[in-house]
Amino acid sequence: MERDAKELVQQQFGRTAQEYVNSESHARGDDLELIVEWTQPQSDWTALDIATGGGHVAKALAPHVRTVVATDLTQPMLAAARDHLLGAGVANCVYVRADAEKLPFLNESFEVVICRIAAHHFPAPQAFVMEAARVLKPGGRFVLIDNVTPEDIQLATFMNTVEYVRDRSHVRCLAVPEWKLLAAQAGLHINTESTRRKTHAVPGWARRAVSDERQFAEVVHCLQTADERVQRYFSFTFEESGQVATFQVDEWAALCVKPETGQRGGL
d(Cα 141, Cα 131) in Å, to the nearest integer? Answer: 13
pLDDT at 267: 45
Global pTM?
0.89
d(Cα 91, Cα 220) in Å, to the nearest integer? Answer: 42
d(Cα 256, Cα 81) in Å, to the nearest integer? Answer: 26
SS3 state of residue 94: strand
Strands (DSSP E) contained in 99-176 are 110-116, 136-148
pLDDT at 17: 46
d(Cα 46, Cα 186) in Å, to the nearest integer? Answer: 21
pLDDT at 23: 47
Q: Which of 31, 93, 77 is nearest to 252 (CA)?
A: 31
In a domain, 144, yes or no: yes
d(Cα 136, Cα 256) in Å, to the nearest integer? Answer: 11
In a domain, 210, yes or no: no
In a domain, 99, yes or no: yes
Which residues are CB-neighbours of 219 under 8 A, at least 6 positions away?
A: 162, 165, 166, 202, 206, 210
In a domain, 188, yes or no: yes
CA distance to 19, 115, 161, 198, 205, per residue, from 59 (Å): 17, 14, 32, 22, 23
- Provide the angle, in degrees to the nearest 10, between the axes of the packed helices 213-224 and 153-166: 160
In a domain, 163, yes or no: no
Q: Which of 181, 182, 187 is nearest to 262 (CA)?
A: 187
pLDDT at 154: 97
CB atoms within 10 A of CB 218: 16
The rounded Cα 84 to chain-centroid distance in angstroms is 19
Phi and psi based region of residue 69 (left: phi greater than 0; alpha: psi -120 to 50; beta: remaining)? beta
d(Cα 147, Cα 250) in Å, to the nearest integer? Answer: 6
For the chain, what is the domain count? 1
SS3 state of residue 134: helix
In a domain, 213, yes or no: no
Name the strand (E) or helix (H) holding 255: strand 244-257
In a domain, 70, yes or no: yes
Domain with 77, as residue range(s), is: 2-148+169-195+251-257
In a domain, 33, yes or no: yes
Strand duo 46-50 + 110-116: pairing: parallel
Q: Which residues of the chain have pLDDT under 50?
A: 1, 14-17, 20-23, 26-27, 265-267
Domain harbouring 108, CATH code: 3.40.50.150
